[in-house]
């Protein structure tokens, strides 16, 4: 039996998470969307699960998005997972830093339908 695809949404803002979840559900049929509120919770989730795509906010408590990306480079099985950053920051330095830390894409919030379509191309 084929397992459904899984997306890990790392987002601390309830409204942004709701918007992202709604759009992702439109673009990913038969897909489980798991939401956690910060990078630390995401690391715990990744100890026991292997999602097909990670969507990451940058500004979060406990462990922010950049810290998550830095730490994920140290964990072998995470290296194979595409990470897309979804941030309110329009700072070019943030985008460049995320690209250096192997983020596949960088989007500015709020998530849109066209972003959902682009994200669907990242899942293997």
State pLDDT tens for residues 11-27: 999 999 999 999 999 98
* Residue 121 scores a pLDDT above 90: no
Q: Mapping DSSP to helix (H, G, I), strand (E, B) and coil, where does residue 12 land? A: coil
Domain boundaries, the chain: 5-120
Q: Which residues, 6+ apart, have CB-to-CB distance to 68 below 8 Å?
A: 10, 39, 42, 43, 56
Q: Report whether 80 contacts 50 (CB < 8 A).
A: no
In this predicted structure, what is the pLDDT of residue 46?
A: 93
- pLDDT 10s digits, 59-98: 999 889 999 999 988 877 677 889 999 999 889 999 999 9
pTM higher than 0.85: yes
* Alpha carbon of residue 35 to chain centroid: 9
CATH numeric code, 5-120: 3.40.50.2300
- pLDDT 10s digits, 26-51: 988 889 999 999 999 999 999 999 99
């Amino acid at each position: 039996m084929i397992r459904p695809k899984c997306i890990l949404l790392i987002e601390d803002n309830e409204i942004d998470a709701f918007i992202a979840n709604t759009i992702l559900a439109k673009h990913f049929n038969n897909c489980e969307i798991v939401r956690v509120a910060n990078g630390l919770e995401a690391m715990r989730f990744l100890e026991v699960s292997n999602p097909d795509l990670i969507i990451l906010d940058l500004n979060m408590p406990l462990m922010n998005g950049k810290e998550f990306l830095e730490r994920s480079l140290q964990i072998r099985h995470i290296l194979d997972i595409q990470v897309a950053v979804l941030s309110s920051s329009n700072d070019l330095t943030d985008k460049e830093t995320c690209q250096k830390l192997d983020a596949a894409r960088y989007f500015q919030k709020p998530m849109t339908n066209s972003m959902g379509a682009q994200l669907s191309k990242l899942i293997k």
